[in-house]
Structure 1
């Protein structure tokens, strides 16, 4: 399919969410300014979101018509934000001059199935201050695709704001028949309510504290009856459950302790953020991709996040595999780019999805989710020994392999893609923006396109599934897959290598090799498809100044025509990309380069607020800046960015699990200079548990098997 059929759109309409406070639980998310306000009619992406809809687009607190001064704000607990404010100079209702910084206003927001804010006010004056505290609420009920500027509004009907003396109701009758409502209750009740403007006329006595509590619930009622809203078992009970789950994550993360206290905090932040990205559908839990733009099931993102943290948590992996298998493509549908055996790209449930205005119902336009699904399946069995799940999903595995073999669209023996949907993605690898794949003259690649890293995924998937087929006595299929993988590896190294550049092409399209220097081929080290005679060149090329910023590896070389340090996929740094490359560097034995990249990502995370790596950041040189330059509309948190540091740590320890054979092999463990000791307690392989201590010495990294329980053999190979 030619490129002219695809509408090329900007990444997002929203202009800036840097510094936003983000709290989330399951499928309910609140994104605000640091002062906890949501500007009315904002185009920044602030709001309360549920089911791909912005249920609140305005939430502004003022005191006597004036904005308050923010002192401190924090969303470090992920389900709770706390904001300290104080007053500017103003005259109160009685005409008294109230000097600045004599009132304290604390906003505390939690999200236990609804949004609950407690506003606590303290008066430090020697006199009573008569204030009018106003809270303005507004809701546009825009679909997330409208907020992102990717499609027009759906033109449903906003209903008149109503208030019955107890509950303020903002509602919307969608064209899809769904009635979406936002309901706010106040304790105490406002003095006056005018549309969405609520006024609390208060007399703050000196040295006394006064509270206002606001509870905001959302509801998505389909036309067939019933309703869909966040689960709630009472605010206190829900909070207890949420707090308990986070405590369990923190306790479990302490089973992976190092002698570097700062690194321990970075690792803990990663794991807490991954807990924040938990989402459930049909009883299966998975990692939602990112907040706020990608807060749903994404095949590629959810799979890679699961791969990154499999040694830490296996339950989410099982749910991810089952859910993706359930949605696996069954028919040919050009609108959704669905094909039998294909793993989905994105699943949406908002108004535009219900109206079929967008193809994400689900949309299948991902060339790499299918081989990655197979890799995750194999990784899961290696760690858990759960061959039962593999047997359960064998029809899905077979279908995925068949889709791969049937998707050589160019007839050159490589898995390639071409969008069939008129509203689909033109580029269908992880770099899926319209300008992500190009030639060195700046011309964009034409479909069908075969990406370098995708061939690596296919190679890895076939090798790994072959091992599993062998376990269930499908030896002929196992041998066939290994033969196909070996042939693919040979052809890849012959076809993608560019002698004059000493590097692999980013892709191959009908015009030949996309001969730019990019990060894509470096991911091929992780899969093992790179011939050893080329591997060192690939590794070293990523650390030339045009590719390595000091904070990480760029997506595209600074020497390329289309390079832009703030271009979504054409010069920025993506943490997950770096984690995959790092694991490949380690696999090929380039410990020096691995350590350099691990250090860069760790230091980048340390430089961010809360030690949270965002979706991506600017590709500017580190030497000119003390912190990574932010990308204005990056999701933060983003699941696979949160998985970056845990992924790199596990790679450095050299784990090669084989739960089916009751064996754990540690291959050449290597700690960077800033880690002298890693103490792991209760590492689970199958039904066995192992305690390990890794210590860095001048001669290398030593491993001590402290304790074992169960039938497990631990081997160390140097």
Structure 2
């Protein structure tokens, strides 16, 4: 494959958010190298290590520092980040990258003198330490910045540690000897030509300045490397990590690029000849790669989205596996499924905030600080669906056998989910969420239509797997429950006058007639008759739901519609993908293709990634109004696009077990 097509380039609007990530550490900043923003910085979960590292140039005849982001001329991503800067007669090329399994970040600068005479200047590095527990980023009410800092002359690095927690460390330095270092800088422009070191017991605020004198002859180039290591780890481990980062930078860069290229080449490649569709496919694939995360003691999984959800969500992971399966990234699917199985509830109990969980339940949240929360009604059945989807694509009967016990426990939990004996699945508020299905910002209890469809399909998937292993009693039990739920969806939720499905049945038994996108889930999982499916999709195609950039979560005519809300009218790539695949599955090629094109519009508004949610009324690119809150990169938004292309547009039907 031509390696050029695996890169993307930007030359304008370089303030967009950008993510660079290995499997351990990730960096959020702007394309131009700026780090401004509450959630931006360098992370090694569950800690934030630094708010950023600012680089600049101070010419001998100038009073203020020229910060590089102000002079950025171009940005390229191809596994590493490459930026070009022009300051006067200096041409600066920056390469930044996060090694795959290291606990740090590397930068390589190549600075060229384009004049016919020697130039002398100062190169500035300003690491801003912020050793903070990840959860504290959710609010700025109280922040403590007290660090103990020093400079290690032999290693040419500064060392900052938390004043109370000696294992919370940040190390930063270069392969060059600095002219001077200031370890505690309130104003970077006031630190001039003198070392500033706090005493061994004196607290500092974390902003440091390392100043390097650079001489470059005419038309010559100088290289300078930097490395940052940090996290919650022992002193010796992080020192070793730092020394490898600074001593083997080029080798690590080659490994990082190779890992990126190997991933792209070893997963499904797709070329339609339509640039927007092909670009969105490639960037969806890369978005999944960037959200892969390995946490020691947990394993490899997918973070749900950044910056707000650096968490292994059970629900999100299952939907994300649909994407990794259909592009052939089976190892990631295996790891993510095994991670969920590892934290499946082994017995009944209560979590840290006294919310009950029950044997067989798949967690809602697996947080990087060790906290596990359950209380999700759909994570458990979605685990079964994702496992079966993996089996259909991979034919890997051994791995499915390995998790068969987990599957039966999950479906045992599902069989008990009808709490009031009416045949339907119940859900309601537990933990700190208003409700426990995917629309968790408002109450949809007691029995959402999408929840019935997800459980119904999970029972069908479980029956198929049980039959593969000759477990016919369980197969028959699961099939019976599948047929019951399939029948009840039509009997209890269908509104013949509207040609639509009611959104939910309330605790008092009354039907709630909200017009929401959840009605398409029974179509997605093939649980309603063709004529009813077509009537539901006709609503989705109408202006009530569809915008030029995707599908609203709620009909515009609904009394509770709000186009700027998170889940009551905002446009989600995720739900647009539901509709796209459902159209293709019903044989509506033109309508499915139209939804694919709308999804590429969403991706274009995001420039690089798939956002979580966009406004429902105003086209995102044509307004400066604030849209619904959400992540700038979201896993299931990317993977539902991949799924819609492969399963929908291309019509690929997985049946690997029949071939293996």
Q: In 1, Cα distance between the equivalents of 2:86 and 2:426? A: 58
Q: Are 1:341 and 2:360 an aligned pair?
A: yes
Look up the match of 2:602. Answer: 604
Contact (CA 8 Å) 2:106, 2:227: kept in 1 or not?
Answer: yes
Q: In 2, Cα distance between the equivalents of 1:249 and 1:627? A: 37
CA 1:213 to 1:657, structure 2 compared with 1: closer, same or farther past 3 Å? Answer: closer
Look up the match of 2:130. Answer: 140
Q: In 2, Cα distance between the equivalents of 1:273 and 1:585? A: 25
Q: In 1, Cα distance between the equivalents of 2:439 and 2:15? A: 22
Deviations 1:278-297 (A, max 9, x none): 22355853333223332332
Q: Are 1:426 and 2:434 an aligned pair?
A: yes
Look up the match of 2:568. Answer: 570
Q: In 2, Cα distance between the equivalents of 1:374 and 1:629? A: 41
Q: In 1, Cα distance between the equivalents of 2:268 and 2:393? A: 20
Equivalent of 1:305 in 309, 320, 324:
320
Q: Are 1:369 and 2:376 an aligned pair?
A: no
Secondary structure, counterpart of 2:317 in structure 1: helix
Q: In 1, Cα distance between the equivalents of 2:214 and 2:446? A: 65
TM-score, structure 2 normalization: 0.83
Equivalent of 1:192 in 169, 172, 180:
180
Look up the match of 1:86. Answer: 86
Q: Are 1:160 and 2:148 an aligned pair?
A: yes
What is the deviation of 1:587? 2.4
Deviations 1:453-488 (A, max 9, x none): 121111111112112222222223222222211111
Equivalent of 2:501 in 494, 499, 504:
504
Q: How does 1:318-337 map to 2 (within 5 A)?
A: 318-330=334-346, 331-334=348-351, 335=353, 337=356
What is the deviation of 1:326? 1.2
Aligned length in residues: 601
CA 1:152 to 1:626, structure 2 compared with 1: closer, same or farther past 3 Å? Answer: closer
Q: How does 1:521-600 map to 2 (within 5 A)?
A: 521-600=519-598
What stretches of structure 1 of length at least 5 have no aligned partner?
1-16, 88-100, 354-360, 438-444, 663-685, 687-718
Look up the match of 1:677. Answer: none
Look up the match of 1:697. Answer: none
Equivalent of 1:648 in 630, 644, 652:
644
Secondary structure, counterpart of 2:20 in structure 1: strand
Look up the match of 2:304. Answer: 289
Q: In 1, Cα distance between the equivalents of 2:586 and 2:240? A: 49
CA 1:513 to 1:171, structure 2 compared with 1: closer, same or farther past 3 Å? Answer: farther
Contact (CA 8 Å) 1:219, 1:228: kept in 2 or not?
Answer: no
Q: How does 1:46-125 map to 2 (within 5 A)?
A: 46-64=40-58, 65-66=64-65, 67-68=67-68, 69-74=70-75, 76-77=77-78, 79-87=79-87, 101-112=88-99, 113=102, 114-125=104-115
Secondary structure, counterpart of 1:660 in structure 2: helix
Equivalent of 2:168 in 180, 186, 190:
180
Q: Are 1:208 and 2:205 an aligned pair?
A: no
TM-score, structure 1 normalization: 0.77
Equivalent of 1:219 in 218, 231, 254:
231
RMSD of the TM alignment (CA)? 3.1
What is the deviation of 1:628? 12
Q: In 2, Cα distance between the equivalents of 1:161 and 1:37? A: 24
What is the deviation of 1:255? 4.9
Q: In 2, Cα distance between the equivalents of 1:656 and 1:145? A: 42
CA 1:18 to 1:474, structure 2 compared with 1: closer, same or farther past 3 Å? Answer: farther
Look up the match of 2:258. Answer: 244
Equivalent of 2:390 in 374, 380, 383:
380
CA 1:500 to 1:592, structure 2 compared with 1: closer, same or farther past 3 Å? Answer: same
Q: In 2, Cα distance between the equivalents of 1:72 and 1:326? A: 47
Look up the match of 1:28. Answer: 25
CA 1:337 to 1:599, structure 2 compared with 1: closer, same or farther past 3 Å? Answer: farther
Q: Are 1:486 and 2:495 an aligned pair?
A: no
Q: In 1, Cα distance between the equivalents of 2:273 and 2:263? A: 20
What is the deviation of 1:400? 0.8
Contact (CA 8 Å) 1:21, 1:81: kept in 2 or not?
Answer: no
What stretches of structure 2 of length at least 5 have no aligned partner?
1-13, 59-63, 184-207
Contact (CA 8 Å) 2:19, 2:290: kept in 1 or not?
Answer: no
CA 1:201 to 1:321, structure 2 compared with 1: closer, same or farther past 3 Å? Answer: same
Equivalent of 1:461 in 458, 461, 475:
458
Q: In 2, Cα distance between the equivalents of 1:598 and 1:259? A: 14
Deviations 1:210-249 (A, max 9, x none): 33321101131279x9779989784444333332222223
Secondary structure, counterpart of 2:541 in structure 1: coil
Q: In 1, Cα distance between the equivalents of 2:357 and 2:18? A: 37
CA 1:479 to 1:558, structure 2 compared with 1: closer, same or farther past 3 Å? Answer: same
What is the deviation of 1:29? 0.6
Contact (CA 8 Å) 1:123, 1:129: kept in 2 or not?
Answer: yes
Contact (CA 8 Å) 1:620, 1:629: kept in 2 or not?
Answer: no
Contact (CA 8 Å) 1:70, 1:83: kept in 2 or not?
Answer: no
Q: In 1, Cα distance between the equivalents of 2:589 and 2:304? A: 30
What is the deviation of 1:541? 0.6
Contact (CA 8 Å) 2:564, 2:570: kept in 1 or not?
Answer: yes
What is the deviation of 1:370? 0.8
What is the deviation of 1:81? 1.8
Look up the match of 2:401. Answer: 391
Q: In 2, Cα distance between the equivalents of 1:389 and 1:322? A: 9
CA 1:132 to 1:346, structure 2 compared with 1: closer, same or farther past 3 Å? Answer: same
Look up the match of 1:707. Answer: none
Of residues 361-370 and 244-253 in structure 1, the stretch that sits farther from structure 2 once superposed is 244-253
Deviations 1:334-371 (A, max 9, x none): 52553211111221223xx5xxxxxxx11113211111
Contact (CA 8 Å) 1:57, 1:138: kept in 2 or not?
Answer: yes
